[in-house]
Amino acid sequence: MYDLAIIGAGWAGFHAAQTAKKSGLKICLIEKSQIGGTCLNSGCIPTKALIYSAKTPAINFLKAQERKDRIIQQLRSGMQFMLKGIDYLNTPAEILSNEEIRTKDKNIKTKSIIIATGSKPLELPELKFDGNKFISSDDILNLKEIPSSLLIIGGGVIGCEFASLFSALGAKVSIVEKMPQLLPGEDKEIAKKLENIFRKKGIKVNTNTGAETQDFKNYGLVLIAVGRAPNTEGLGLDKLGVRLEKNKVLIDEYLKTNIHNIYAAGDVTGKIMLAHFAAYQGRIAAENITAPDLKITRCDNIPNCIFTSPEIASVGIDEEAARNKGINTKIYKFDFLGSGMARILEETEGFIKIISDKETEQVIGASIIGPRATELIGILTLAVSEKLKIPQIRNTILAHPTLSEGITDALRENYGI
């Protein structure tokens, strides 16, 4: 009998297992594919490895793919090593009851279960993946050659990252997005800036445009990047009575399903499909199983990072959302044209935008487009998370010359833009 069985060894499941191990529980971690889940094998790590390689002069695409695969294998080995003391089963799983799971070779008994089976690329009803002409974000990572032309259906995070990558590799890239802007849900000003930068790079951007308007014969490849869907098939959740909504596992604020000893974490919950949020949920789920004082999950302080060129990052609420909530805001901005380090790096496109509550001076959100935005957002994530006020950040001394000093420069009256 296990104390805890975790189905899925991606970021949520792996971090849940590591957290639970500290409490001395007998743990079983079950994964039908590869340890590391989407993030390591077909998401965060491989895409960023290719994006980095694309910045090098005279890139050899096959060598870049080999480097990407080598990084994945090294990280997989590291994760495998960290599972010492945890029973790892590489097998499909079906939940037979709240205390029994069927695997390929045997049934196992457990006191608690965490479902952490992640997500998969979402298909369009009228456009199915064929792995040849119409491909998913998984398929595109395993290409052997750079396509001459690429149509991307969907201008969200995944679509924009691949547009940036393959444009840098020399492909003719077009994006169609049915919403009025790229990156729906991101700050409108940031999205417009990215669109302008894309156009300068020769990327064709068509917003308010559906896939049905396109003649697919004009493109070598068509990437369908319209989102991701939770992985719940084959788990037996319907028979068990676990509540689902559009394949999402429904959970409460403690990550518990409607069955008292079954929890869920990560993309399978359909909340915020980001690896770092999945890891956070995994840790909280494990802590709530092992400790009597239940912890709730927070969703207001999760940074979103987009590895386009330039990078984009945001946290908290944006200007429009604040206005819709009736918050009287004050906006602080700094253009990277004024940054010495940005000029040294020759990456001056973009700006920092910080949003505060005008009455309280509390930082409630921030967005950045520009060099190292995904690193810089860490400072502002702390500010939002800890409810810091503008003077507390403004009066912090940050080193010169760095990109980070642009944050404090933005907060000095008449200094930013």
User: What tens digit of pLDDT does each residue of 362-408 get?
Assistant: 999 999 999 999 999 999 999 999 999 999 999 999 999 999 999 99
Top-level class of domain 134-226: alpha beta
Instruction: Please give the structure tokens belonging to residue 181.
Output: 């802007």
Q: Which of 15, 260, 276, 400 is catalytic?
A: 400
pLDDT exceeds cutoff 80 at 201: yes
**3-class SS of residue 306:** strand
CATH superfamily of 304-410: FAD/NAD-linked reductase, C-terminal dimerisation domain (3.30.390.30)
pLDDT digits (tens, 9 = 90+) for 242-280: 999 999 999 999 999 999 999 999 999 999 999 999 999
Q: pTM of the prediction?
A: 0.94
What pLDDT score does 413 carry?
Answer: 63
Taking alpha carbons only, the member of 145, 142, 158, 147 closest to residue 69 is: 142
Give CATH for domain 2-35+83-120+229-290. 3.50.50.60
Distances (CA, A) of 165 to 197, 208, 367: 14, 23, 22
Q: Is it the case that residue 97 has pLDDT exceeding 90? A: yes
Q: What is the pLDDT of residue 293?
A: 76
**Where along the chain do its domains lie?**
2-35+83-120+229-290, 134-226, 304-410
Instruction: Summarize pLDDT for 276-320 with one digit per residue, the tens.
Output: 999 999 999 999 999 877 888 888 899 999 999 999 999 999 999
10 Å CB burial of residue 111 (0-12, 13-18, 19+) is: middle
Q: Output the six-digit token pair for 295.
A: 């912890």
Q: Is the pLDDT of residue 347 over 90?
A: yes
Beta bridge partners of 205: 175
* DSSP-assigned letter for residue 363: E
| Other C-beta atoms lying within 10 Å of the C-beta of residue 194 | 28
* Residue appearing with tokens 């006020």: 389
pLDDT at 144 over 90: yes
Decide if 2-35+83-120+229-290 and 304-410 have a common fold.
no
**pLDDT band of 417, cuts 50, 70, 90:** very low
The DSSP bridge partners found for residue 351 are: 335, 369
- Count CB neighbours of 57 within 10 A: 4
Quick check: is 260 catalytic? no
Q: Per DSSP, what are the bridge partners of residue 2?
A: 110
